[in-house]
């Protein structure tokens, strides 16, 4: 199966890398300097990565944020991954999105996942009782 992140072209646009992961610009950027961090190994899900690979991804995240602050004058970031097809993961190779933000950005200027990840008409503030019930459900073994 063809994987765009295992494609050799990725090497040409790799900005930084370490033993387990690399950073490169997204070819479907939602903003200037939208970058992706991927493990070198073809692994779809975060939980399938080794602790070394997970640490390598966060190490690159820390470094690329500094680079984006210096080279792009980034003042903030949107950092996220989609896990599973149901959550919008379109490439079955783990990738962490890093989107630098600056004051006066065009495009998404008021980032709030509730505005576009969920159906706004379904969103309402939950009662404390409902929140406690969720807590109890998730604390069960």
Binding footprint of Zn ion on the chain (CB under 5 A): 3, 5-6, 42, 93
CB of 20 to Zn ion, least distance (A): 14
- Shortest distance, position 45 Cβ to Zn ion, whole Å: 12
Q: Of all residues in this chain, which one has the CB nearest to Zn ion in the complex?
A: 3
Residue 36 near residue 23 (C-beta atoms within 8 A): yes
Closest to Zn ion by CB, 39 vs 100, is 39
Q: Which is nearer to Zn ion, 95 or 101 (CB)?
A: 95
- Paired tokens of 63: 């470094």
Whether 74 contacts 100, CB under 8 Å: yes
Min CB(42)–Zn ion separation in Å: 3
Active-site residue (options: 34, 42, 95, 97): 95
Which of helix, strand or coil describes residue 99?
Answer: strand
**Residue 49: closest CA among 81, 14, 7, 76:** 81
In the complex, minimum distance from the CB of residue 10 to Zn ion, in angstroms, rounded to a whole number: 9
* Buried residues in 54-75 as b, exposed as e (16+ CB within 10 A): bebbebbbeebbebbeeeeebe
Q: Which is nearer to Zn ion, 32 or 92 (CB)?
A: 92
Output 1 or 86, the one with its CB closest to Zn ion: 1
With residues binned 3-state (H G I as helix, E B as strand, rest as coil), the percentages for the chain, rounded to 5, are 35, 15, 50
Catalytic site includes residue 95: yes
Hey, which residues are catalytic here?
95
């Amino acid at each position: 199966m063809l994987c765009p992140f295992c494609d050799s072209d990725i090497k040409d646009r790799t900005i930084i890398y370490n033993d387990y992961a690399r950073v490169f610009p997204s070819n479907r950027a939602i903003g200037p300097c939208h970058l992706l961090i991927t493990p070198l190994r073809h692994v779809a899900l975060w939980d399938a990565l080794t602790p070394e690979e997970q640490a390598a991804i966060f190490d690159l995240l820390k470094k690329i944020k500094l680079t984006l602050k210096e080279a792009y004058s980034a003042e903030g970031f949107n950092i996220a991954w989609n896990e599973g097809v149901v959550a919008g993961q379109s490439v079955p190779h783990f990738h962490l999105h890093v989107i630098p933000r600056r004051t006066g950005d065009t495009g998404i200027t008021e980032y709030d996942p509730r505005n576009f990840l969920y159906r706004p008409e379904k969103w309402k503030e939950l009662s404390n009782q409902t929140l406690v019930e969720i807590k109890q459900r998730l604390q069960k073994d």
